[in-house]
């Protein structure tokens, strides 16, 4: 089945109706915006390295075997803030901001594709003289990390996979994400909705809504005071064609022989646990752990339990 994106609407009348509905939704969202919030104080100093002319920001803590944390969308290295301290007792933890997210520069050519991101991840690790690492990945960080790992099986020793997608058979995207693919509706959608859109996306991905404070939303949305950067990165990411890269991953998953841990939130509304089960079936000898009362963003929702499971895996 071809899952490449098809236009959601056809016909001038339906297009105008869709645009009107989008504007109404965004006006309501903007009217309900909460008071100005301040991001929480940074726990770790951000470092920077230049890769192919792109400034990549990252957090580093601990010593020993590298543990590389790769986030998805619409997050950044900030996603891992409640896990870094304990993980750093078991290795050299490195959490990067993917290009266009957090404090990192966007790719100069606007290419947010999986293959390009995997190549930049490779260059980033080379710049830090990391020859082999444990890869921890979430959401879009999953296919990026797996593309890197499958192309360079000698450069990783373990995989830890959290709520991601590695097969072409994807569940339907939320309506807001499908609409964001359409030009210029996506631009209007992101420009007017802004922070409200990110808040809704984050809240729908957790069970404990209290963890998504105003400050946390702002830290994800505009850490460097430039919301337009993340808006453009989100649109660029949503509009790429994943299928060729996912086909490569899907065909090669069964070749993985390294220790692999799969963590999944049982109440993930974005990526159902059936996707995790399929990954578990494809990677021989993998360990599958389902986290109860947990949504899509495990490091936000259940960071303590997730860290405990990961530490046990690393120590085994």
For residue range 161-184, list pLDDT tens digits in order: 999 999 999 888 777 777 778 888
Rounded to the nearest 10 degrees, how much is the dihedral formed by the CA atoms of 122, 127, 133, 135? -50
Mean pLDDT of 115-141: 98
CA gyration radius, the chain: 19
Angle at 288 between CA 286 and CA 291, to 5 degrees: 160
> How many Cβ atoms sit within 10 Å of the Cβ of residue 4?
9
pLDDT for the residue 316: 85
Instruction: Give me the domains of the chain, ranges plus CATH numbers.
Output: 43-171+242-315 (3.40.50.1820)
Contact yes or no for 233/101 (Cβ under 8 A): yes
Q: CA 137, CA 258: separation in Å to the nearest integer?
A: 15
Mean pLDDT of 287-312: 98
Rounded to the nearest 10 degrees, how much is the dihedral formed by the CA atoms of 217, 98, 153, 93? -60
3-state secondary structure of 69: strand
Instruction: State the pTM of this model.
Output: 0.88
Question: What does residue 191 show for φ and ψ, rounded to 5 degrees?
Answer: -65, -45
Expressed in angstroms, the distance from the first to the final Cα of the chain is: 40
Lowest mean pLDDT among 21-25, 173-177, 227-231: 21-25
Tokens of 128: 């830090």
Closest CA to 22 of 190, 204, 238, 230: 190
Q: What is the mean pLDDT of the chain?
A: 88
Contact yes or no for 100/106 (Cβ under 8 A): yes
Residue 115 has pLDDT above 70, yes or no: yes
pLDDT tens digits, one per residue of 52-106: 999 999 999 999 999 999 999 999 999 999 999 999 999 999 999 999 999 999 9
Residue 235 has pLDDT above 90, yes or no: yes
- Identify the residue with better confidence: 109 or 256: 256
């Amino acid at each position: 089945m071809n899952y490449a994106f098809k236009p959601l609407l056809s016909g001038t009348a339906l297009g105008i109706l869709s645009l009107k509905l989008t504007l109404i939704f965004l006006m309501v969202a903007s009217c309900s915006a909460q008071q100005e919030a301040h991001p929480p104080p940074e726990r770790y100093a951000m470092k920077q390295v230049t890769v192919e002319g792109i400034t990549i920001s990252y957090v580093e803590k601990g010593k020993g075997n590298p543990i590389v944390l790769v986030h998805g969308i619409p997050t950044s290295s900030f996603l891992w803030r409640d896990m870094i301290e304990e993980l750093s007792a078991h290795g050299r933890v490195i959490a990067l901001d993917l290009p266009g997210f957090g404090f990192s520069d966007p790719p100069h050519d606007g290419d947010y594709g999986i293959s390009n991101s995997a190549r930049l991840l490779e260059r980033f690790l080379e710049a830090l003289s990391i020859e082999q690492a444990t890869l921890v990945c979430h959401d879009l960080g999953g296919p990026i990390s797996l593309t890197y790992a499958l192309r360079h099986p000698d450069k990783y020793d373990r995989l830890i996979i959290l709520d991601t997608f590695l097969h072409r058979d994807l569940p339907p995207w939320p309506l807001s994400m499908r609409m964001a693919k359409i030009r210029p509706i996506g631009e209007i959608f992101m420009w007017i909705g802004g922070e409200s859109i990110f808040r809704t996306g984050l809240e729908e991905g957790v069970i404990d809504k209290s963890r998504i404070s105003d400050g946390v939303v702002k830290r994800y949305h505009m850490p460097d005071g430039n919301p337009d950067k993340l808006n453009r990165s989100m649109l660029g990411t949503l509009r790429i064609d994943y299928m060729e890269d996912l086909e490569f991953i899907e065909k090669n998953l069964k070749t993985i022989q390294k220790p692999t841990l799969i963590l999944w939130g049982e109440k993930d509304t974005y990526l159902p646990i059936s996707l995790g089960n399929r990954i578990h079936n494809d990677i021989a000898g993998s360990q599958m752990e389902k986290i109860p009362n947990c949504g899509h963003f495990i490091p936000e929702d259940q960071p303590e339990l997730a860290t405990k499971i990961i530490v046990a895996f690393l120590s085994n």
